[in-house]
Structure 1
Amino acid sequence: MTKYLILGGARSGKSSRAQSLAEAASPQRVFIATAEALDTEMADRIARHQADRGQGWRTLEVPLDLVSSIKANEGSDEFLLIDCLTLWLSNLFHHERDLAAEADALCEALSQSNCSIALVSNEIGLGLVPETSLGRKFRDAQGRLNQRVAKVCDQVEFVAAGLPLKLKG
């Protein structure tokens, strides 16, 4: 089973790319959402994503425990789409979780899973250096997480302007 990491900037088309991969691969799909609707704008964004997916998707809302969601689907024929690692990391930061331990557990679960999985993540290190210490810590943690996940994925793509560029696989 193939593991994909789809990277890109904001509104680059990375989620659409991951959705296309999932829909081409399997009629049985699970969307694992890490976002939480904490305000009206985010609730609207989530609703748009749900409408874009249409039929044929089962949705799980998993802001923190991705590993359990991956393990719970062991033995199934479902294609898992995790959107997105950046929001998951933000949730981990907010809940003061051990980022290295969480990344270790995620990479181990991905390596051991027999499901096809696409993970969406933001590439946030291409812009200006963040002004605050917290911003720099987050940017650095996101870069390290993306590198770790890329190592265990079979295919890695960078999406810009809706166009995927194959980096691995």
Structure 2
Amino acid sequence: MGKIIFITGGVRSGKSAFAEHYAKTLFGRHQKGLFYIASGVPFDEEMKKRIRRHQNDRERSQLPWVTMEVADDLPQATFGADDIVLWDCITTWLNNVLYKTEQSENRYVKIQQSIERFQQTVGRWKQDGAIVLLVSNEVLDEASSIYEEVNLYRELIGKLHQWIVAICDEAYELDYGINVRRK
């Protein structure tokens, strides 16, 4: 049986660096596959810079990262015993799902189907023995919004985070580069 590690925190809290360091430590022990699932979409200059910074960090690590770009679908890859999978980040993935379904008929059904596929996929990876690090943003500390879409997003990510924490083996919250283990 594999393991799921949940890592959350605010913007620029150090969660990605923590997750990459954790994956590096695990890789040193297991030395099997090392996979990075990236959900960022370069839609503006700031996002392009963030994506490039993450790519540079992985290149500098001199580890054999296999990067998969996953905007809103799920990776078709199968991960097994001792594979290390770092997915950065779940909030971006969910945002991309919302954007993709924005003009769709049966939008809420399609969103729910995407979330259920995510849950099944992550559960299968764990069952197959992979060590999965899921990085996500903490967005629930903000006040409710006047915008329906923002509140929908907060509701969905809140429920998804609760599901992840319920099934994960470890959960960390980062603030200012300091991690606190919650589970």
Q: Structure 1 length as normaliser, TM-score?
A: 0.90
Instruction: Name 2:55's counterpart in structure 1.
Output: 50
Aligned length: 165
Equivalence map 1:62-141=2 (5 Å): 62-66=70-74, 68-69=75-76, 72-75=77-80, 77-96=82-101, 98-113=110-125, 114-141=129-156
Distance 1:83 1:122 in 2: 10
Distance 1:17 1:102 in 2: 27
Distance 2:166 2:16 in 1: 20
Secondary structure of the equivalent of 2:152? helix
Secondary structure of the equivalent of 1:107? helix
Q: Deviations 1:128-161 (Å, cap 9, x if unpaired)?
A: 2223111111111111111111112111111111
CA RMSD of aligned residues (A): 1.6
**C-alpha contact 1:73 1:115 (8 A) present in aligned 2:** no
Shift of 1:76: 5.9
Distance 2:82 2:73 in 1: 21
Equivalence map 1:19-38=2 (5 Å): 19-26=20-27, 27=31, 28-38=33-43
Q: Structure 2 length as normaliser, TM-score?
A: 0.84
Q: Deviations 1:19-58 (Å, cap 9, x if unpaired)?
A: 1110000144111001111122211110011111222211
Secondary structure of the equivalent of 2:180? strand
Distance 2:73 2:150 in 1: 23
Distance 1:134 1:74 in 2: 34
Task: Please identify the structure whose Cα radius of gyration is greater.
Answer: 2
**CA 37–76 in structure 1, closer or farther in 2 if over 3 Å, else same:** farther
Q: One-letter code of the match for 1:61? A: E
The unaligned stretches of length 5 or more in structure 2 are 102-106
**CA 40–76 in structure 1, closer or farther in 2 if over 3 Å, else same:** farther
Shift >6 Å, 4+ stretches: none
Match 1:39 to one of 44, 54, 60: 44
Q: One-letter code of the match for 1:15? A: S
Distance 2:179 2:119 in 1: 23
The unaligned stretches of length 5 or more in structure 1 are none
